[in-house]
């Protein structure tokens, strides 16, 4: 039972880290794409407008991307239920990237205003704490996997092969005895 609970927490940590990784790694890509759009004046006006809104109005603006993309995600789930895996996956990926771009843009423009809301600040601090916790859960496992993979790296492959052959010989010796 204890192993099952630990596996649950590690899985939860992995899912959280995947989301954090997507945020950290796709945000610059999406920002680069958004910067290429010829809407600099519009983006600057939107950012300025967001900064001048009261914190609760900024929260509503922050939730808009999730609400706008919800129909697309539901449509992708419908396609998935009908067995159209490729189309559903494509729609979900596009919705994720667009949602991430919009959310990152709004969050960057509105972070200071949003952190004025006590419960949002509490949630923000908790999310950062959970991210640190998730790294503490997963990083030792990642290090162990990297150590195992390094054993099979090209420059160490002969050493790994010798180890495997030695194990094989021992197994055959035990079987024939």
Structure token digits, residue 62? 């922050």
Structure token digits, residue 102? 């919009």
> Where does residue 54 fall: left (phi above 0), alpha (psi -120 to 50 degrees), or beta otherwise?
beta
Contact 133, 73 (CB under 8 A): no
Which domain covers residue 144, as residue numbers? 2-176
Burial grade of 131 (CB within 10 A; 0-12, 13-18, 19 or more): middle
Least confident of 16-20, 49-53, 99-103: 16-20
**What pTM, to 2 d.p., does this model score?**
0.58
Least confident of 30-34, 87-91, 98-102, 104-108: 30-34
Q: What is the pLDDT of residues 118-164, one digit of tens each?
A: 988 998 898 888 888 877 877 888 788 888 777 666 565 566 667 77
Q: What CA–CA distance (Å, rounded) separates 61 from 53?
A: 10
Q: What CA–CA distance (Å, rounded) separates 146 from 167?
A: 21
> Where does residue 83 fall: left (phi above 0), alpha (psi -120 to 50 degrees), or beta otherwise?
left
Q: What CA–CA distance (Å, rounded) separates 8 from 128?
A: 20
Per the structure, the count of domains in the chain is 1
């Amino acid at each position: 039972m204890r192993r099952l609970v630990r596996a649950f927490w590690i899985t939860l940590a992995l899912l959280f880290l995947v989301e954090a990784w997507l945020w950290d790694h796709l945000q610059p890509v999406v920002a680069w794409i958004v910067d290429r759009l010829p809407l600099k004046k519009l983006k600057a006006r939107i950012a300025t407008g967001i900064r001048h809104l009261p914190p609760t109005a900024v929260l509503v603006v922050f939730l808009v991307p999730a609400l706008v993309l919800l129909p697309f995600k539901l449509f992708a789930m419908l396609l998935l239920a009908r067995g159209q895996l490729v189309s559903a996956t494509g729609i979900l990926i596009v919705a994720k990237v667009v949602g991430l771009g919009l959310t990152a843009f709004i969050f960057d423009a509105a972070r200071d205003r949003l952190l004025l809301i006590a419960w949002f600040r509490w949630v923000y601090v908790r999310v950062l704490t959970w991210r640190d916790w998730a790294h503490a859960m997963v990083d030792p496992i990642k290090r162990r996997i990297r150590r195992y993979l390094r054993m099979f790296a090209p420059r160490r492959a002969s050493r790994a092969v010798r180890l495997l052959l030695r194990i094989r010989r021992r197994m055959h010796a035990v079987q024939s005895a």
